[in-house]
Each structure stands twice: as C-alpha cells, then as structure tokens.
A = this chain, B = another copy of it.
C-alpha cells in the first residue's frame, strides 16, 4: 500500500497499551471507568476497549450514541447537554441501550421532563470551575431545583453529578493539574451535599487529571477520552510522554525552501484541524517525528509545523533543511489535538495496512 495524501496512522500496540493502562489504573483506584469515545469515534478501537472489560462509555452527540449502539454498546452516556430537538432520536436510542443524558439546570430539566415518556437515566452537569456548561457547583438553589424537577418525572432516574474539568488543559504543571482535580472533586461533593441525596454518584473526566492523578477522593467514575491516542497538547501539558502518542499524520513533502529553512507539506487545516498549542512563545500545529517509514525518529532539535492553510502546512527547521528531505518524501507528524485530527481525516490506517473506521458526522439523515 502506498500513502499518497495526508493519512492518519494509528499504532494499535500503543493504543492498546494506553487503554490497558487506564483500565488498570481506574480499577486499582476502585473507580468505574467510562471512557469517552469522542476521540476515536471508531467501532474498531471501541472493540479493543471491550477486550479489556470496558462496558460503559461516554459520547458527545446523539449521533455518536447511535453509532456505538449499533456496535452493541449497552450503557451509553451522552455527555452533552440534552438537546430537546433530538428527542425522537433519543427516545429510539433509549429503547435500545441503557441511555444516560446530561442535564445542565432547571430549564434543561423542565424540557426533558416535558418530553420524557421513556426510561432514561440522568447526570446533572455541574460546573466546578471550567466555565463551559452546567449549574455552578455553589448554586445550591439551582441544583436543588434541577433535582426536584427531574425527580417528579417517573421515567427519569437521577444517577449522579458529572463535571468536566477542562481547565486542566490550561495547566502548566502536574501539580496544577492535581490541584484543579482536587478542587473539582471537593466542589462536586459540595454540590451533592446541597442536593442532599448521598446516593448520587460523582463522575469526573478529563485526560490530564486521569493521566496525572493517582487519587480521586470521593469520586466514583472517571471519563477521560483523549488518552486513547494522546497528542502533542497532552505532551506539553505533561499528561503523557511522546512515546505514548499512538497517532501520526503521514504527509507528502510538497516543496522545499532550504534558504528559508522551510518544508511545505501536503497537509493543512482540513487534515490537522486548526487547533494549535503554544511552546516557547510560538504557536505550533504539530511536531515532526520522522520520515519515510520511520515514524518515531525525533530530530535532534524539535521541528514544528508552524502554520497551516487549507491544504498546505509549513515545517520550520532551525537552520536550513537537511539535504535528505526531498519532494515526494513522506513525513510523520504528531498532531496537536488528536480528537480533531481524527475527526478531520475521518479514518485510520493501521500498521498491517487495514483501515479502522471513524464515524462521519456530516449531515444527519433527519435532514
């Protein structure tokens, strides 16, 4: 097989190792492991999880829940605020799998209670500091009201409180991740105390904490997603080593400009996504990790992808381009954010030459 255009390579052995280690780690801590499947969005990769005993998952859309339900997953939490527009699809799903929904506050609770004539479990989304969605952890009145509304609907079983500490992505050290994680857990416990139902389970999920922390006091369930592949951003945060990253984008070299220390690759924003990370005060979109069959060779000095247009990317060398790089070579690049890169490329090439699937979002069939 010949790679001719930007292609996402997935190293099955590294990926399985990431899955196995996180499975063992959560088990050792006595936590329920409910990995988020939004990173890989792949039946094939999902089946690897199953081999390690995982039977509960998280997804980020109704569509994704449908995708994994089709592959036999029987306990699926849609970790995205309940979208009343999709109630018909949700009702169908609830008849096929043990479905969990995420409710963000009283208005969200009322909409679900109004529509709900199907059995479903609910997690109350709590904002413990990230500031994206959910009821603020110290908004006790709001949390109690949400709980009260949900409780009145006989179809709904309130299962617990969930939070996503996405603020760990901005952490600069492992200590900072640890602190955010601890504070988040304390706040989630505080939120449950305000509601006053000790049977509610507490669920947290983000790859930096799941990777770095060895204790989640008071927490019942962990929902990381990105760890399945990791990426350059997680490496910069300190969640992983480079040799744990299980994906690379293989890109043909399109042009070389040695006097400007630059290599233009066939690989742009539509392949990598335009997500960037910052290192040494500059934006980077990926890290070169070898060429022509050797996708593990770090150059002595890091060579970053410094800019992306629609189909082009520019690799910046520090001083000239090595004479060994030619137009038509394949270079391998660790992407900044593997979730978005996988979404952009829509499929994986495995080492044995077979492909792994990736759900295609695109237009939903209800249109």
**Which residues on A are within 8 Å of B, measured CB to CB?**
1-5, 7, 38, 60-63, 80-81, 83-86, 89, 104-105, 107-108, 111, 131-134, 166, 252, 254-257, 260, 264, 266, 269-271, 273-276, 309-312, 314, 326-328, 339-340, 343-347, 349, 355, 360-364, 366-367
A104–B328 CA distance with the chains assembled, in angstroms: 13
A310–B105 CA distance with the chains assembled, in angstroms: 21
A319–B38 CA distance with the chains assembled, in angstroms: 33
Residues on B with C-beta less than 8 A from A260 are 131
A240–B81 CA distance with the chains assembled, in angstroms: 36
Instruction: Please tell me if the beta carbons of B4 and A83 are within 8 angstroms of each other in the complex.
Output: yes
Residue of B nearest to A127 (CB): B257
Answer whether A132 and B309 are a contact pair too, CB < 8 Å, given A275-B274, A327-B84.
Answer: yes
Instruction: Please tell me if the beta carbons of B367 and A363 are within 8 angstroms of each other in the complex.
Output: no
Q: Tell me which of B256, B274, B347 contacts A273 (CB under 8 A).
A: B274
Instruction: Please tell me if the beta carbons of B347 and A252 are within 8 angstroms of each other in the complex.
Output: no
Residues on B with C-beta less than 8 A from A349 are 363, 367
A84–B86 CA distance with the chains assembled, in angstroms: 47
A256 to chain B, nearest CB (A): 7
Q: Tell me which of B3, B133, B255, B361 contacts A133 (CB under 8 A).
A: B255
Residues on B with C-beta less than 8 A from A367 are 1, 3, 7, 349, 355
A4–B311 CA distance with the chains assembled, in angstroms: 30
Residues on B with C-beta less than 8 A from A132 are 264, 309, 312, 314
Nearest first, the 10 closest Cβ-Cβ pairs linking A and B are A346-B362, A4-B85, A81-B254, A274-B274, A133-B255, A84-B328, A104-B255, A133-B264, A347-B363, A270-B343
A58 to chain B, nearest CB (A): 12
Instruction: Please tell me if the beta carbons of A269 and B340 are within 8 angstroms of each other in the complex.
Output: yes
Residues on B with C-beta less than 8 A from A105 are 255
Residues on B with C-beta less than 8 A from A311 are 38, 60-61, 80
Instruction: Please tell me if the beta carbons of A310 and B254 are within 8 angstroms of each other in the complex.
Output: no
Q: Tell me which of B62, B314, B328 contacts A85 (CB under 8 A).
A: B328
Instruction: Please tell me if the beta carbons of A81 and B362 are within 8 angstroms of each other in the complex.
Output: no
**Extra contacts besides A7-B367, A273-B274 (5): CB < 8 Å:** A1-B367, A2-B85, A80-B254, A133-B254, A133-B312
A206 to chain B, nearest CB (A): 11
A352 to chain B, nearest CB (A): 13
Instruction: Please tell me if the beta carbons of A266 and B346 are within 8 angstroms of each other in the complex.
Output: no
Answer whether A5 and B273 are a contact pair too, CB < 8 Å, given A256-B107, A266-B83.
Answer: no
Instruction: Please tell me if the beta carbons of B5 and A61 are within 8 angstroms of each other in the complex.
Output: yes
Instruction: Please tell me if the beta carbons of A310 and B270 are within 8 angstroms of each other in the complex.
Output: no
Instruction: Please tell me if the beta carbons of A5 and B84 are within 8 angstroms of each other in the complex.
Output: no
Instruction: Please tell me if the beta carbons of B107 and A327 are within 8 angstroms of each other in the complex.
Output: yes
Residues on B with C-beta less than 8 A from A63 are 5
